[in-house]
Amino acid sequence: MNKNLQIYNSHSGKKESFESINKGFVGLYVCGPTVYNYVHLGNCRTFISFDLVYRYLQHLGYKVRYVRNITDVGHLESDADTGEDKIAKKARLEEVEPMEIVQQYTINFHETMKRFNNLSPNIEPTATGHILEQIDLIQKIITNGFAYEAEGSVYFDVNKYNKSHAYGSLSGRKIEDLMNNTRDLDGQQEKRNPLDFALWKKASKEHLMKWPSPWSIGFPGWHLECSAMSTKYLGESFDIHGGGMDLKFPHHECEIAQGTSANCKDPVNYWMHANMLTLNGKKMSKSADNSILPEELFTGKNKHFSKSYNPMVIRFFMMQAHYRSTLDFTEDAINAAEKGYNRLFDGLELLQKVKTSDKSSESVEILISAFYAAMNDDFNAPILVANLFNAVKFINHINDGKASISSQDKIQLDKAMKDFIFNVLGLKQDTEIKSSKLDSLMDIIVDLRKQAREDKNWATSDKIRDGLQKAGIQIKDNKDGKTSWSSH
Ligand code: AMP
Ligand code: ZN
């Protein structure tokens, strides 16, 4: 097995050869969702990116302990330790228990992950299930002199920490610049410094989720939860920590400070950050009405797109960009991905049928080693996909009599393609997805109908539309002049 894996470490800003701290498993921690809302497609991109990482590490033969938490308390509306708890706010507005909110959105999250064929983590700890570990961790940080109590809350002392460590080393921020950009204590006079962040917050009387602690009845800070849960299950130092790019600061920066000050060692060896998914060129954001839920795409019920898409096509679309690049979700791009998905599976199907010869005209070994080279280069899925298409081209050439393959090589190529398509990329063949042949046929029919309409030959254009309708295919003329179709 080729284990020459390079990972881009966001902390050092370079690609580094991957070496696991030898504990008998690779420790992988990924920040999970705050369960107060349905996960949108952008969130899913990050979780799919780390599913690819988990799958490839396993493919390389590593035993992986994959931990992805559920944030069910402590994530306040503002990063500056102000505002309501996101879950408590939703519970208040809907007049239900916070745990009903947690339950509803955790179930939705799991269902969505399943639709995208994401593997379950080995451990999925919740923040509310680890209050004792969080209190212990805070005590350790206080004992080591990096946190202080004020009015029942406990804050991390950023200035003190920065004297002996570099706060901001992950996100490349300097403490002086951060100070200049923070105007005042924003009503939080308990803090010694505006950059200090809460490890424990004293709860007000009306606060819904609270627990006793040595300092007050209160609740833990969001950053602390991930430190406590990752340490508990992966140790004081572990291999890989991942999350979306927007978690780099302050969330992950604070995790480094907490772990280092509690245990006198850097908690994480490789930091990985997945880049953002945009929708039609703009940041995906609920408040700007520019976000889409997976379910809206699966059903086709949304204002952005004229037809529905299968989760596997969406997953394949995501694989066509490197996890560190931004990716824009548009109608043209997802339609192209649908065609590509079909071409890939048609190629794999054709490989089963092609005749073998005495020898291969192309080196199958080189084709397969290119699959590994792509993934070993910081999980470069788009290059892997391009290399899989090179294999499809070769298969088509064999079928056309322009190339040949030995029976031994055919077995090898078949195994490698299936391994990379199903186990590494995590794709499934879905018979419901239109085949590329139907795609090409529909292109011709839609074109003929367009011509008939241009010629004002309404009888023919109606005949085509009605005939398709009878066959279970709906065609729709869109505002932009294009015609789309869907089959049910
Ligand atoms: P949250 O529940 O808000 O903490 O988000 C869950 C995960 O989704 C985090 O790792 C975020 O960084 C990530 N995320 C949020 N928005 C996007 C986006 N537009 N594209 C990709 N990942 C995102
Ligand atoms: Zn986290």
**What's the CATH number where 249 sits?**
3.40.50.620
Domain match, 477 and 406 both: no
Domain match, 450 and 346 both: no
Domain match, 153 and 54 both: yes
Domain match, 402 and 451 both: no
Q: Which domain holds residue 408?
A: 306-316+325-424
Instruction: List helix spans (H) across 95-151.
Output: 98-115, 131-143
Contact criterion met (CB below 8 Å) for 133 and 229: yes
CA of 470 to the centre of ligand 1 (A): 43
297 domain residue, yes or no: no
Domain match, 25 and 102 both: yes
Atom in ligand 1 nearest the alpha carbon of residue 245: 12
Distance CA 57, CA 18 (A): 10
Q: Residue 295's pLDDT band (boundaries 50, 70, 90)?
A: very high
Domain match, 90 and 238 both: yes
Per cent of the chain over pLDDT 70 is 97
The phi-psi region of residue 61 (left if phi > 0; otherwise alpha if psi is between -120 and 50; otherwise beta) is left
Q: Write out residues with Cβ below 6 Å of ligand 1.
A: 31, 33-34, 42-43, 45-46, 243-244, 246-247, 276-277, 284
Q: Ligand 2 (ion): which residues have CB within 5 A? A: 31, 226
266 domain residue, yes or no: yes
Q: Residue 435's pLDDT band (boundaries 50, 70, 90)?
A: low
pLDDT of amino acid 1: 56
Atom in ligand 1 nearest the alpha carbon of residue 291: 19
291 domain residue, yes or no: no
Domain match, 384 and 465 both: no
Q: Report residue 183: phi and psi, to 5°.
A: -70, -55
170 domain residue, yes or no: yes
| Residue whose CA lies nearest to ligand 1 atom number 15 | 43
Give SS3 for 210.
coil
Which of 46, 255, 286 is the best mutation target for the ligand 1 pocket, counting ligand atoms within 8 Å of the beta carbon and taking the most?
46
Contact criterion met (CB below 8 Å) for 321 and 336: no
| Residue whose CA lies nearest to ligand 1 atom number 19 | 42
CA of 62 to the centre of ligand 1 (A): 27
CA of 220 to the centre of ligand 2 (A): 13
CA of 245 to the centre of ligand 1 (A): 8
Contact criterion met (CB below 8 Å) for 225 and 130: yes
Tell me the per-residue pLDDT of 189-208, one tens digit each, with 9 for 90 and over: 899 999 999 999 999 998 88
Instruction: Give the residue from 167, 72, 175, 88 showing the smallest Cα distance to 126.
Output: 72
Tell me the per-residue pLDDT of 256-285, one tens digit each, with 9 for 90 and over: 999 999 999 999 999 999 999 999 999 887
For the whole model, what pTM was predicted?
Answer: 0.89
Ligand sitting nearest the alpha carbon of 259: 2
Q: Residue 480's pLDDT band (boundaries 50, 70, 90)?
A: confident
Find how far residue 343's CA is from the centre of its chain: 25
Instruction: Give the residue from 4, 467, 81, 44 showing the smallest Cα distance to 254.
Output: 81
384 domain residue, yes or no: yes
CATH number at residue 337: 1.20.120.640
Domain match, 367 and 482 both: no
Atom in ligand 1 nearest the alpha carbon of residue 246: 12
CA of 299 to the centre of ligand 1 (A): 23
180 domain residue, yes or no: yes
Domain match, 247 and 365 both: no
Domain match, 153 and 258 both: yes
Last residue of one domain, picked from the residues 394, 424, 454 = 424
77 domain residue, yes or no: yes
Atom in ligand 1 nearest the alpha carbon of residue 278: 19
**How is 385-410 classified by DSSP, letter by letter?**
HHHHHHHHHHHHHHHTTS---BHHHH
pLDDT of amino acid 95: 94
Domain match, 262 and 121 both: yes
If one counts the domains in the chain, the total is: 3
Domain match, 148 and 199 both: yes
364 domain residue, yes or no: yes
CA of 35 to the centre of ligand 1 (A): 12
